[in-house]
Chain A
Amino acid sequence: MDVNEVLLPGVGMRYEFANREGDRMCVVARRTGDFELMVYEGADPDEARVVFRLTGEEADTLAEILGAPRIAERFADLTKEVPGLSAGQVEVRAAGPFAGRPLGETRARTRTGASIVAVVRGEEVIPSPGPAELLQAGDVLVVIGTRDGISAVEQIIQG
């Protein structure tokens, strides 16, 4: 995708792009760490309308929400480089045996050899979760291991 970068001297950077539907928008990243998200009405970039402003922290949260579904894909890219290793996502279901239980109790790695490298919980991503991490219904576990290992983890988690 084409992102047009415009330097705003003394203020920061502006990134402009159009989505597939033809909406043109821009993000102003200010030196202060704040962000502004704007759209151009029509194709004319003379005037932008500010949709919202974000502090650095809020922008991080938004980026996580937008980026969360891609985490497993990114791990998948990573695992392409190692033959035999793959990545998968396993959802923790409310009816399963581990909703509300600590991750350690699954003994997933000992039993399958596959590792749970992240837990995606709504907008939040918990990287390298510890054994004490309480699993919740709706969590998505990002698992790395052999294909068999990943399906074994799926069977354990979903009962």
Chain B
Amino acid sequence: MNVSVALMLELGAILAVLSLLGALARRFALSPIPLYLLAGLALGEGGIAPVPAAGPFVETGAGIGVVLLLLVLGLEFTVPEFAVSLRRHLPSAVVDLVLNATPGAVAGWLLGLDASGILALAGVTYISSSGIIARLLGDLRRLGNRETPAVLSVLVLEDFAMAGFLPLLSVVAAGGTWRQALLGVLLALGAVLAAFSVSYWWGHRLGRALLHLRPDPEQLLLRVLGVTLVVAALAEAVHVSAAVGAFLVGLSLTGEAADRARQVLSPLRDLFAAVFFLAIGLAISPRALLPVLPAALLLAVVTALTKVVTGWYAARREGAGPRGRLRAGTALIARGEFSIVMIGLVGVRQDRLGALVAAYVLLLAVAGPVITRFAGARPVPRAAAGHQGGTPAAAGPG
């Protein structure tokens, strides 16, 4: 076997740098996603250190990264949580969709993007990062707060909306007619319903099949990953997008099978998701970033405000007071992995869109957690005013 020295060296260096950046981000309780994007930008064409040998691996790894991101998202999902969220927060979900997708769509239209670009941008501004926010709420010690179930419910409903939105996007991006798009959406909704029924009626059997003969972690990893990649490939073949296929696999697993699968898959997901963010950064030329910065900034400000309104509304339905509502609203500002998945689907070939979204996510993935940390935090007693942030402990490691 031929070992490519250049590939190993470049890949090793990349991963080492990513690990340093990730550690740095965690140090300040921020999401590492923006730093991974920046690293990609720095390494890309016209960047400071091109990595030609690692290119093909990063490209392949990025595809697997999207599949793993959505598979684990599907594994997180349980039907009871969805049902409870829907019952309590359907109006919040509608407010969320209308208020936050509209600015993206309008911006796409103003920028003269095509239909897939407009749709993608609507999705980008709509979807908060459940990964960043769930972690943030834990780090800021807000899991006991009254507004927290509202925030989490909105996130769950967004994730569910993704299942309908992604196939629509991938059909439109493939240049299909509206008829094909409609068909694609119906197909996807059918598939989601099927996955739910499977999970509801036969979830335990599916789980038993997966856990047959008490697999060790290695066995389990191979089984889940194998099945998922096959389903993802089939979904891609019928133009439903591999990501949606993976999401469906995740949805149909529940209980112990889902718990164990999540355990073995999470590290792998983290690795390939990092590669995915890197790949998006790589595909965007840094020179394209500067011209779109004003637009990204404006869009970020507008959609940060619309998310605050969304969170305010949702938290009010839970009976939270004004500070709780502000906390909920600001918590929802962070955009991250799934906004990036959107442009990954449309293809970063639309360089302007790619650059715009990258800049947008860079801004909000950093600003969101910082804003919510200070907005609506517990009033600091005079004596402890030297401590910044809400509880003094919030500054400690998470």
Where the two chains meet, the residues of A that have a C-beta atom closer than 8 Å to any C-beta of B are: 6-11, 14, 26, 28, 30-31, 36, 38, 40, 44-50
List the 3 closest A-B pairs by CB distance, nearest first: A48-B144, A38-B144, A9-B81
Q: List 27 A-B contacts (CB under 8 A).
A: A7-B80, A7-B81, A7-B84, A8-B148, A8-B149, A9-B84, A9-B156, A10-B76, A10-B152, A11-B143, A14-B144, A14-B149, A28-B143, A28-B144, A30-B138, A36-B141, A36-B143, A36-B144, A40-B144, A44-B146, A44-B321, A46-B323, A48-B142, A48-B145, A49-B141, A50-B141, A50-B144
With A9-B152, A9-B153, A10-B155 already in contact, the answer to whether A46 and B147 are too (CB < 8 A) is yes
Hey, which chain B residues are within 8 Å of A30, CB to CB?
A: 138, 143
Hey, which chain B residues are within 8 Å of A14, CB to CB?
A: 143-144, 149
The majority secondary structure among interface residues of chain B is helix
Q: Among B82, B141, B152, B324, which residue has its beta carbon within 8 angstroms of that of A8?
A: B152
The majority secondary structure among interface residues of chain A is strand
Query: Beta-carbon contacts of B73-87 to A below 8 Å, as 1s and 0s?
Result: 000100011101100
Q: How many A-B residue pairs have CB under 8 A?
A: 76
Hey, which chain B residues are within 8 Å of A36, CB to CB?
A: 141, 143-144
Q: How distant is B314 from chain A, measured CB to nearest CB, in Å?
A: 12
Contact (Cβ within 8 A) A46 B146? yes
Contact (Cβ within 8 A) A46 B145? yes
Q: Which of B348-384 contact A (CB under 8 A)?
A: 378
| Complex CA distance for A30 and B148, rounded to whole angstroms | 14
Q: Known pairs A11-B134, A47-B142, A48-B142; list 12 more (Cβ under 8 Å).
A: A7-B81, A7-B84, A8-B143, A9-B155, A11-B152, A14-B149, A44-B146, A47-B146, A47-B323, A47-B324, A47-B378, A48-B145
Query: Beta-carbon contacts of B294-310 to A below 8 Å, as 1s and 0s?
Result: 00000000000000000
| Complex CA distance for A11 and B150, rounded to whole angstroms | 13
Hey, which chain A residues are within 8 Å of B147, CB to CB?
A: 46
With A9-B153, A10-B152 already in contact, the answer to whether A45 and B144 are too (CB < 8 A) is yes
Q: Which of B255-300 contact A (CB under 8 A)?
A: 259
Whether B320 sits at the interface, judged by CB under 8 Å, is: yes
Quick one: closest B residue to A49, CB to CB? B391
With A47-B378, A50-B141 already in contact, the answer to whether A10 and B320 are too (CB < 8 A) is no
Q: How distant is B329 from chain A, measured CB to nearest CB, in Å?
A: 14
Query: Beta-carbon contacts of B126-152 to A below 8 Å, as 1s and 0s?
Result: 000010001001100111111111001
Contact (Cβ within 8 A) A10 B149? no
Quick one: closest A residue to B147, CB to CB? A46
Hey, which chain A residues are within 8 Å of B323, CB to CB?
A: 46-47
With A8-B152, A9-B156, A10-B134 already in contact, the answer to whether A45 and B143 are too (CB < 8 A) is no
| Complex CA distance for A50 and B145, rounded to whole angstroms | 10
Hey, which chain A residues are within 8 Å of B130, CB to CB?
A: 10
Q: Among A26, A28, A46, which residue has its beta carbon within 8 angstroms of that of B324?
A: A46
| Complex CA distance for A46 and B378, rounded to whole angstroms | 10
Quick one: closest B residue to A44, CB to CB? B321
Contact (Cβ within 8 A) B137 A11? yes
Hey, which chain A residues are within 8 Å of B155, CB to CB?
A: 9-10
Hey, which chain B residues are within 8 Å of A10, CB to CB?
A: 76, 81, 130, 134, 152, 155-156
Query: Beta-carbon contacts of B82-105 to A below 8 Å, as 1s and 0s?
Result: 101100000000000000000000
Hey, which chain B residues are within 8 Å of A8, CB to CB?
A: 143, 148-149, 152
Q: Which of B139-175 contact A (CB under 8 A)?
A: 141-149, 152-153, 155-156
Whether B393 sits at the interface, judged by CB under 8 Å, is: yes
| Complex CA distance for A47 and B322, rounded to whole angstroms | 12
Hey, which chain A residues are within 8 Å of B149, CB to CB?
A: 6-9, 14
Hey, which chain B residues are within 8 Å of A7, CB to CB?
A: 80-81, 84, 149
| Complex CA distance for A146 and B96, rounded to whole angstroms | 67
Q: How distant is B390 from chain A, measured CB to nearest CB, in Å?
A: 9
Contact (Cβ within 8 A) B138 A11? yes
Q: How distant is B46 from chain A, measured CB to nearest CB, in Å?
A: 39
